Structure 1
Amino acid sequence: MKTSNTLLFILVLLYINASTQWPTHTVCKEDNLEIYYKSCDPKQDFALSIDQCSDIATHTFNIRAAMVLGYSIKELYVKLDMIVNGKTILTYSETLCGPGHSKLIFCGKNKGEQLYYEGPVTLEIKEIPQGDYTISAKLTNQDHVVVACAEFTVKNYLDYY
């Protein structure tokens, strides 16, 4: 019995190491708005959820996000790309943590620490663009190492008018 359990455990570990993609997670799915994400970091997945898709249209909504840090974040930078039909049509980047400038409560966290946030997020955009598109999000630290990255698929058919 011990041999079969050990063999099963080894096979599971080999499968996990051989797998190159994380599963697609649903952030939210309602009548006119669907958001999915998949981690693009081969070493780590993360958790993200929101209360209701429809709250996003109000520009302030509650999220829950969690991950274990694989790298320290004394400095943290975000780069977002909006991709439609395989072409990047919009790029946005910002410093989230830096010397004398920290926008997030977890700036300064070290490798191995757990990040957990539950609370409001406010989008600084007037509306979420309609249509089907991908948002590529990449967080890098002071050493230019990817701390987290994800590909978000957005299907938005909300009518703002």
Structure 2
Amino acid sequence: MVNVVFLLLVLLYPNLSTEWPTHTICKEDNLEIDYKSCDPLQDFALSIDRCSDISTHTLNIRAAMLLRHDIKALYLKANLIINGRSVLSYSESLCEPDHPKFLFCGKKKGEQLYYEGPISLGNFEVPQGDYVVSLKLVNEDHFTVLCADFTIKNHQDYPFP
């Protein structure tokens, strides 16, 4: 009976929760990475095998989401936020109609995006400290495809060369 009442409350009052939950990607001694979807209509799934793989610059990830909009073109907007202030902004075109860079370019609304496998960070080092990286992917019609805020707490000591 309690389950029925709870289900009715969820169905009748869908706006009781205004935020998606915070998901932990990894948590080890000196490194923690969490994320929360900032899209009010959609959450997504993302995980990595081990935090320690970040130091090797190659991660095995799993990511999944259901597309709410077509991807003919896709643009990334990223901000590094420290103490509530944006200190660095970055933008890049990930998909263009005549020049797809990734497998998800050209996907249609309603399709599921799923990737499991390695990604390379190249020479990118995860900076030390506590900060937020805000990512937003928008399509050619300026609709949000994905929006997330990543909280990073990196207190690892890296050896100097």
TM-score normalised to structure 2 length: 0.92
Residue in 1 aligned with 2:126? 128
Matches within 5 A, 1:38-57: 38-57=36-55
Q: Secondary structure at the match of 1:154?
A: strand
**Mapped pair 1:19 → 2:22:** no
Matches within 5 A, 1:64-143: 64-143=62-141
Q: 1:15 to 1:33 in 2, by over 3 A?
A: farther
Q: Secondary structure at the match of 1:38?
A: strand
Residue in 1 aligned with 2:157? 159
TM-score normalised to structure 1 length: 0.92
User: What are the ranges of 5 or more consecutive residues in structure 1 without an aligned counterpart?
Assistant: none
Q: Secondary structure at the match of 2:35?
A: strand
Q: Match of 1:146, as an amino acid?
A: T
Q: More deviation in 14-23 or 33-42? A: 14-23
User: What are the ranges of 5 or more consecutive residues in structure 2 without an aligned counterpart?
Assistant: none
Q: Secondary structure at the match of 1:57?
A: helix
Q: Could you tell me how far apart the structure 2 residues matched to 1:35 and 1:8 are? A: 32
Q: Match of 1:56, as an amino acid?
A: I
Q: Secondary structure at the match of 2:89?
A: strand
- The answer as to whether partners of 1:72 and 1:111 remain within 8 angstroms in 2 is yes
Q: Could you tell me how far apart the structure 1 residues matched to 2:45 and 2:74 are? A: 19
- The answer as to whether partners of 1:81 and 1:137 remain within 8 angstroms in 2 is yes
CA-based RMSD: 1.7
The aligned length equals 159
User: How far did residue 5 of structure 1 move?
Assistant: 7.0
Q: Match of 1:97, as an amino acid?
A: C
Q: 1:4 to 1:53 in 2, by over 3 A?
A: closer
Q: Secondary structure at the match of 2:86?
A: strand
Q: Could you tell me how far apart the structure 1 residues matched to 2:2 and 2:150 are? A: 39
Q: Match of 2:138, as an amino acid?
A: T
Q: Match of 2:113, as an amino acid?
A: L
Q: Could you tell me how far apart the structure 2 residues matched to 1:86 and 1:39 are? A: 18
